[in-house]
Structure 1
Amino acid sequence: MEVLNETSSRFTLIGLSTNPWLQPLYFIIFLIMYIVTVTGNLLIIAVVRTEPKLQTPMYFFLSNLSLIDLCFSSTIVPKLLMSTLTEDKTISFWGCATQMYFHLALGGTECIILAIMAYDRYVAICHPLHYNTIMNLQRCSLLSVGTWSLNFLNSIYYAYSTFQLPFCRSKNVNHYFCEMPPLFRLSCTETLINEIAVYISGGIVGLCSFVLTLLSYVHIILTVLRIQSSTGRQKAFSTCVSHLSVVSLYYGAIIFMYLRPRGSYSVDRDRSVAILYTVVTPMFNPIIYSIRNKEVKQSVRKMISGRSHFTMLTFHH
């Protein structure tokens, strides 16, 4: 059997479907979703960076989340679109390794950023008098830099160990991008150690982030329920609804994909779940935050109307 672990070798991504009639439909759908993702997340980043009233920790981490979603989607969707359009589904050894590395690094970064955002809301609602002291600019910058650095360094090991495996069962990756579970199934050696490492990493990064998020919201809910004014309760809850929606969608898909028994692998189901956190969530995050958040909505309108006014003036001159 041919062992596929040479840098000159290529994998073949099976894609979303082998049905040729569905390819144009998939291309149109995912192109529209990708355009919405890029536009929405770039708009959030631009608004947060340029609007003075959004220079707060909450929006600083929201811009981090938008950058992650932008990069996360761009790691996978352009290759998917190209494969669907040209019918060339091959990907180089290094291309596959790079795609998986960034997918892991950005996924872990998103988990921790979502947990930090939950903690930020906890401090704002449960300890408002100490908020500026606890969530100061220096601490927020350190948390951001530390989170990105930790996950990008951590993912080197998982990408390296996965691509040290001898891939001799097949060159066909039964997925639309390079992810660990389908790659493990191409190896002709036992991958139990690699899978245990995934569980450990998932437990440390994913579950710890999820538990911190959950604890933050338990304290938030208990604090909000003690507020006498119904208007005050509604205002406090409204600042958390967007984040809770994003957290539920993202963590649900990630936990299902990575933290489950070995024997529960299903190609079609796993592909559908992967679409949730690689394509759908990055697209919906800016939409959810824009719709639910008045300050973001007002800032976006102000930016768009300002640009429109500037364009009209330039055109007339």
Structure 2
Amino acid sequence: MSPEAFYPVGTPGQPWGEAERAQWRARQQRLRRFDDDVLPRIDALSSRFERVQYGALDYAGDRYPLLALRSQPWDPALPAALVTGGVHGYETSGVMGALEFLEQRAADYAGRINLLVIPCVNPWGYERINRWNFDAIDPNRNFRADGPARESTAVVELVAPLKSQFVLHIDLHETTDSDESEFRPAVAARDGKPFEPGLIPDGFYLVDDTENPQPAFQQAVIREVEQVTHIAPPDAQGEIIGSKVVSHGVIEYPLVALGLCAGITGARFTTTTEVYPDSPRATPQQCNDAQVAAVTAALDHALGQVAGG
């Protein structure tokens, strides 16, 4: 790289074209298998939940079914909750946490709330341990019906007929050291912008909706997760990843305006989890457990509010 370059693809100050995207794609190697890690567990769960294929991807001959699991039977008289994982394919505990929730805890909510769970929104990214999809697009900025990422538009289409039923959507993510070493530099290079270094918070945090803040809900989730892993403190500016900390372990984003996954249902209760898997204080299993704890705490709070009016 030249001295002013900060990423090995593209020319500083110039947005990528097709040639740069192809060069970036050639750097991505399949490091794990969706059909080995995820599909068998979804198939095993299909005896207890309805297996829904809501689309398919074909990226240069690599084919992936887009799969969800939903309550069986689905009772229109009950409220509904959406759980999503793997929007960014490299965020392992999001995928594994969604699966472990289904395997270990979902039965506790049968007959109380309808569940729709998408364990791995971005299977191409999962296999390559990458944030983006095949087209160097971040699915989590493109959850809209006319968006460029098929991973995202397919979820929007799946959810659309059920939107009025959802009281909860929890989207399971991670913030990793590779955000700073790989993915933020890649975004800056792709968009022809300078890279501005930041800080990775040490611990778990949540992202609430600026347009629909639910502080009591967020703190109910934080309290449960804190039993499993540590919560990220604010930095010297009182921020986490550049956003003001509004309460213990919570920041806010305008979910719909940014095209984020957690904004697609219009549910009363929405949150994005952010696990920190690179901490020396957290094991991979703790990260999965933190995601499961977040889902169950979110469900318990939402159900308590629905039951209480």
TM-score by length of 2: 0.32
Greater share of strand: 2
TM-score by length of 1: 0.31
User: RCO greater where, 1 or 2, for CA within 8 Å and sep 6 or more?
Assistant: 1
Greater share of helix: 1
Larger Rg belongs to: 1
